[in-house]
């Protein structure tokens, strides 16, 4: 008997009949209070982690234990619950490999001078009327390489905000442009863990997934570029401090070979090289740059790969230090725990009452709008982009099967919703960490145009396609039982 069948059997009320009188026993009688208590404890732990500045992995671990206890109370064995969690945790295997390689990549790019080269080039392009454009495009380029919003905001973002403060620029507009840029590569980069998770939970090839994301990105990216082009003269920078440029040139040999790791990472996927292969090649080239061009000691380089790179120049220590395998441990734990949640919820049927309502919601507002609501809801509850991605897939998967839609459709809807929208939830780490790193408040979010233009464009595209199809086909084929279009 399958796990879902067991869940149905164990959640059925037991009845003791004495003549015509029947008494309902078991979980039905108590309702869902045990599950509600588990959620409350979990949310309290999330709030505590946010207040104390601790990793959300602690809250996820406590929540997992609480939900497992609910499963035990409802009749599942420890072995069964462990099997449920382990089954979905297999999905995290490929993602974990990419995460470890990203840790190496972010340290080696710093050590080899690749990061310094692009920062110097970007900063040198700043003029009074182009600052916002550079503040968007430079983080966007970095995010295409790193695939991590946190890694980009901690390097290019910190440098650009330093320049903005010293040059008298509008900090809200500048931080909004940076916030937009750091999320461009979250869906597109071969080194993105968010893209890897979305592809994995949907069961699609990650290269095909990124190709689909490129098609959906062109319009919102172009509109964002136009907006920042218009806003740049409106919010100009008055002066650019050349101290950072001087420190970069002094601390690194920034000759042209240091860009080869970036070229390899961005070009190889278009030659049908896997993400893992492209990252490995980039890591090797970065290591050669660090050893042969920057003349770094091999022992120091190995140590930097594990614990992170530390810049020698005092002026660069706060903005270029970081990366390494250790920097990925917390993210890796969150990915594993998120997959464990998915397995536990799926096997026990805890989320069945929510899943059963998905069909009606999709019929009323459409697939993509449903994903938007799920994205905001899960990110508000779990404060985490990864958990939102996993649960979005779990809650809607049955509806995709019922409607005979391909897995790529689900992958695209997840990629175009939760990955960016997590950056608009103030207490989610996808938003709170970049804001804290840049030293700005929530009032900058309206300037983060790309974060909301992407889902808006995708939503408009779905509505347009639905109306176009409704106009071409007989009404009876496009309407659900309630008389409403399945697309709108």
Whether residue 23 has pLDDT greater than 60: no
Whether residue 461 has pLDDT greater than 90: no
* pLDDT-derived band at 471, boundaries 50, 70, 90: low
Q: Are residues 215 and 160 in the same domain?
A: yes
Q: Are residues 268 and 315 in the same domain?
A: yes
Q: Which of 1-10, 164-173, 351-360 has the lowest mean pLDDT?
A: 1-10
* pLDDT-derived band at 106, boundaries 50, 70, 90: confident
* pLDDT-derived band at 136, boundaries 50, 70, 90: very high
Share of the chain above pLDDT 70, in %: 89
> Which residue, 268, 297, 328, sits at the end of a domain?
328
Query: Which tops the pLDDT comparison, 160 or 474?
Result: 160
Domain that holds residue 51: 32-75
Q: Are residues 174 and 224 in the same domain?
A: yes
Question: Does 313 reside within a domain?
Answer: yes
* pLDDT-derived band at 227, boundaries 50, 70, 90: very high
Q: Are residues 200 and 69 in the same domain?
A: no
> What is the per-residue pLDDT for 302?
94
Question: Does 351 reside within a domain?
Answer: no
Q: Are residues 51 and 138 in the same domain?
A: no
Query: What is the CB neighbour count within 10 angstroms for residue 162?
Result: 17
Q: Are residues 318 and 215 in the same domain?
A: yes
Q: Which of 264-273, 386-395, 456-465 has the lowest mean pLDDT?
A: 264-273
Task: Tell me the per-residue pLDDT of 47-56, one tens digit each, with 9 for 90 and over.
Answer: 888 788 788 8
Q: Are residues 160 and 50 in the same domain?
A: no
Q: C-alpha angle with apex 183: 285 to 405, nearest 5 degrees?
A: 100
Q: Which of 2-16, 215-229, 237-251, 329-343 has the lowest mean pLDDT?
A: 2-16
Q: Are residues 50 and 124 in the same domain?
A: no
User: Quick one: 41 exposed, middle or buried, by C-beta within 10 A (0-12, 13-18, 19+)?
Assistant: middle
* pLDDT-derived band at 370, boundaries 50, 70, 90: very high
Share of the chain above pLDDT 90, in %: 32
User: Quick one: 442 exposed, middle or buried, by C-beta within 10 A (0-12, 13-18, 19+)?
Assistant: exposed
> What is the per-residue pLDDT for 11?
44
Residue in 73, 88, 1 with CA at minimum distance from that of residue 397:
88
- Name every residue whose Cβ is closer than 8 Å to that of residue 106 and which is 6 or more positions away in sequence: 146, 148, 151, 322, 323, 324, 327
Whether residue 12 has pLDDT greater than 60: no
> What is the per-residue pLDDT for 470?
65
Question: Does 13 reside within a domain?
Answer: no
Maximum pairwise Cα distance, the chain: 92
Task: Tell me the per-residue pLDDT of 111-131, one tens digit each, with 9 for 90 and over.
Answer: 999 888 888 887 788 888 899
Task: Tell me the per-residue pLDDT of 168-189, one tens digit each, with 9 for 90 and over.
Answer: 899 999 999 999 999 999 999 8
Q: Which of 90-94, 147-151, 204-208, 461-465 has the lowest mean pLDDT?
A: 90-94
Q: How many domains does the chain have?
A: 2
* DSSP sequence for 1-32: --HHHHHHHHTSPEEEEETTEEEEETHHHHTT
> What is the per-residue pLDDT for 116?
86
Whether residue 211 has pLDDT greater than 60: yes
Assign 405 to helix, strand or coil.
Answer: coil
- How far apart, in whole angstroms, are the C-alpha atoms of residue 394 and residue 388? 10
Tell me the β-bridge partners of 479: 485
- How far apart, in whole angstroms, are the C-alpha atoms of residue 343 and residue 236? 51
Q: Are residues 175 and 322 in the same domain?
A: yes
> What is the per-residue pLDDT for 30?
45
Q: Give the number of C-alpha atoms closer than 13 A to the C-alpha of residue 317, restricted to the C-beta side.
A: 4
Whether residue 244 has pLDDT greater than 80: no
What's the gap between Cα 221 and its chain centre? 18
Both tokens assigned to 251: 């601390």
Contact between residue 210 and residue 190 where contact means Cβ atoms under 8 Å apart: yes
The CA–CA distances, whole Å, from 361 to 313, 358, 420, 458, 486 equal: 56, 5, 22, 18, 10
- How far apart, in whole angstroms, are the C-alpha atoms of residue 258 and residue 268? 17
Both tokens assigned to 250: 């002094």
> What is the per-residue pLDDT for 213?
95
| Top mean-pLDDT range of 20-24, 246-250, 427-431 | 427-431
Question: Does 285 reside within a domain?
Answer: yes
Give the residue-averaged pLDDT of 1-16. Answer: 41
The CA–CA distances, whole Å, from 209 to 196, 203, 295 equal: 9, 10, 39
User: Quick one: 61 exposed, middle or buried, by C-beta within 10 A (0-12, 13-18, 19+)?
Assistant: middle
H or E element at residue 301: helix 298-307
> Which residue, 328, 357, 385, sits at the end of a domain?
328
Question: Does 231 reside within a domain?
Answer: yes
Assign 484 to helix, strand or coil.
Answer: coil
Q: Are residues 166 and 283 in the same domain?
A: yes
Whether residue 481 has pLDDT greater than 50: no
> Which residue, 47, 75, 103, sits at the end of a domain?
75
Whether residue 451 has pLDDT greater than 90: yes
Question: Does 378 reside within a domain?
Answer: no
Does the global pTM surpass 0.75?
Answer: yes
Assign 356 to helix, strand or coil.
Answer: coil
> What is the per-residue pLDDT for 458?
92
Q: Are residues 54 and 102 in the same domain?
A: no
Question: Does 311 reside within a domain?
Answer: yes
Question: Does 462 reside within a domain?
Answer: no
Q: Are residues 69 and 96 in the same domain?
A: no
- How far apart, in whole angstroms, are the C-alpha atoms of residue 384 and residue 421? 11
Mean pLDDT taken over the chain: 83
């Amino acid at each position: 008997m399958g796990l879902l069948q067991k869940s149905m059997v164990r959640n059925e009320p037991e009845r003791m009949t004495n003549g015509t009188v029947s008494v309902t026993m078991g979980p039905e009688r108590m309702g869902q209070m045990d599950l509600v208590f588990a959620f409350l404890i979990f949310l309290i732990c999330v709030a505590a982690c946010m207040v104390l500045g601790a990793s959300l992995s602690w809250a996820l671990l406590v929540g997992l234990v609480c939900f497992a206890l609910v499963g035990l109370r409802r009749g599942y064995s420890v072995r069964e619950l462990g099997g449920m969690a382990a089954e979905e945790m297999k999905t995290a295997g490929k993602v974990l490999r990419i995460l470890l390689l990203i840790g190496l990549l972010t340290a080696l790019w710093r050590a080899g001078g690749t990061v310094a080269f692009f920062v110097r080039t970007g900063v040198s392009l700043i003029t009074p009327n182009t600052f916002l454009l550079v503040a968007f495009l430079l983080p966007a380029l970095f995010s295409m390489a790193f695939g991590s919003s946190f890694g980009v905001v901690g390097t290019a973002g910190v440098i650009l905000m330093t320049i903005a403060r010293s040059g008298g620029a509008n900090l809200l507009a500048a931080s909004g442009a940076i916030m937009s840029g750091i999320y461009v590569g979250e869906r597109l980069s071969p080194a993105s863990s968010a893209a890897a998770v979305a592809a994995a939970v949907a069961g699609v090839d990650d290269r095909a997934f990124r190709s689909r994301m490129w098609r959906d990105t062109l319009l919102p990216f172009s509109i964002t570029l136009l907006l920042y082009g218009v806003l740049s003269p409106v919010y100009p920078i008055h002066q650019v401090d050349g101290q950072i440029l001087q420190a970069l040139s002094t601390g690194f040999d920034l000759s042209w070979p240091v860009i080869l790791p970036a070229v390899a990472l961005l070009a190889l996927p278009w030659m049908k090289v896997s993400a893992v292969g492209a990252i490995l090649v980039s890591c090797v080239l970065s290591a050669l740059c660090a050893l042969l061009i920057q003349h770094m000691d091999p022992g120091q380089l190995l140590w930097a790969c594990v614990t992170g790179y530390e810049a020698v120049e005092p002026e660069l220590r706060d903005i270029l230090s970081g990366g390494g395998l250790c920097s990925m441990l917390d993210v890796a734990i969150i990915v594993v725990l998120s997959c464990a949640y998915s397995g536990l919820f799926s096997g026990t049927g805890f989320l069945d009452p929510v899943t059963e309502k998905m069909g009606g919601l999709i019929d009323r507002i459409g697939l993509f709008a449903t994903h938007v609501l799920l994205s905001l809801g899960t990110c508000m509850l779990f404060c985490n982009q990864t958990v939102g991605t996993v649960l979005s897939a779990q809650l809607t998967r049955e509806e995709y099967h019922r409607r005979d839609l391909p897995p790529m459709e689900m992958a695209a809807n997840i990629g175009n919703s939760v990955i960016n929208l997590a950056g608009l939830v103030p207490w989610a780490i996808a938003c709170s960490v970049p804001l804290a790193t840049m030293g700005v408040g929530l009032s900058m979010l309206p300037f983060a145009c790309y974060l909301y233009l992407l889902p808006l464009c995708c939503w408009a595209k779905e509505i347009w396609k639905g109306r176009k199809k409704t106009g071409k086909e007989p009404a009876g084929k496009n309407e659900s039982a309630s008389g409403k279009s399945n697309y709108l």
